[in-house]
Amino acid sequence: MPLAHFDGALAVVTGAGSGIGRATALALAGRGATVIAADIDLPSAEHTITLAKSVGSGGTAYQVDVSDAGAMEIFAAEVEETHRAPDIVVNNAGIAVAGPFLETGLDDWDRILGVNLYGVIHGSRLFGKQMHDRVHGLPNKPDKPNFGGHIVNVASAAAFAPWRAMPAYCTTKAAVLMLSECLRAELAGSRIGVTAVCPGFVSTDLVDNGTYAVADESARTRLQQSAKKAIKLRNYPPEKVAERIVQAIIKNKAVVPVNFEGHLLHTLSRVSPSAVRLMARIPTSRG
């Protein structure tokens, strides 16, 4: 059953200090939801809540590292104790690691898996259980009995297609897509919807804050500048992604490609996977 009414809903958004996370928090707040804005950068999360108060109900900021299982358990328990089980969870926090597989070190793999994949696992597992227990009327879950909820996992158009320049990033986002599909099947009986949102290039600070696993410094600079140029030329604001997230919750969509490249890669991955594999071989500016 889709959650189509946001007034009075409690929404947890990770990575809410900027970009898609902040835009989503504000979109939900503007529709009447109370927002729990979580980010590793507390001042940024607090600024999101200040903005949320100007457009709607506001909420509370929390500092949390989504890759830290213990910190996420404390965070989820505090949300439930101080507020209640959330109605909406948007697992948005993410980072980028670019560069060829043979130059991507284990530390980089640990970091991107921790944030992009385990962050989604922690958020879905902990808050999904709170939603599940509320639906099934387990003890100490008196709020909104038999009410489900919705989990949104922000993946990427990279989930649909391999790319030689970003094997680590593509791997984590493909895993988030599959995890979301599995969760959707499992949690449907508890009236909990699950959506994987898959944007293409979006104007966020993901590229600026990314890691470039390229040994040669000049090649590393070219790779970063190429990515920044693509983002600038695309000029797709995170607010448009937030609107798609809102509509996905309302309509209980399973998979939501966002913008032209998102739809293109989604379609090609289904009708011509060989074409997608060929595209993955195209050299980057690194040469």
**Domain extent at residue 244:** 10-279
Give just the sign of the alpha carbon dihedral 237, 239, 242, 246.
Answer: negative
Q: How high is the pLDDT of residue 90?
A: 98
Residue 2 lies in a domain: no
On whether the CB atoms of residues 43 and 24 are closer than 8 A, the answer is no
Pair 91, 20: CB distance under 8 Å: no
The pLDDT of residue 111 is 97
pLDDT averages per 10-residue partition of the chain, 287 residues: 73 98 97 97 98 94 98 98 97 96 96 98 98 82 65 97 94 98 97 97 89 83 81 91 97 96 94 92 63
Residue 140, domain member (yes or no): yes
Instruction: Report the alpha-carbon distance of residue 78 to residue 57 in Å, rounded.
Output: 20
212 is a catalytic site residue:
no
Return the pLDDT at 231.
85
For residue 208, the model assigns a pLDDT of 83
**Residue 205 pLDDT:** 87
Phi first, then psi, for residue 119 (nearest 5°) are: -60, -40
Per-residue pLDDT, 223 = 80
Contact partners, residue 22, CB within 8 Å, separation at least 6: 16, 37, 44, 48, 51, 238
Q: How many domains are contained in the chain?
A: 1
Global pTM reads: 0.92
Q: What is the CATH number of the domain that holds 59?
A: 3.40.50.720
Active-site annotation holder among 118, 169, 212, 236: 169
C-alpha distances (whole Å) from 100 to each of 73, 86, 201, 246, 281 are 34, 39, 20, 35, 12
Flag whether 254 is in a domain.
yes
1 assigned to some structural domain:
no
Strand-by-strand arrangement of the 88-91 sheet? 59-63, 34-39, 10-14, 88-91, 149-154, 192-199, 255-258
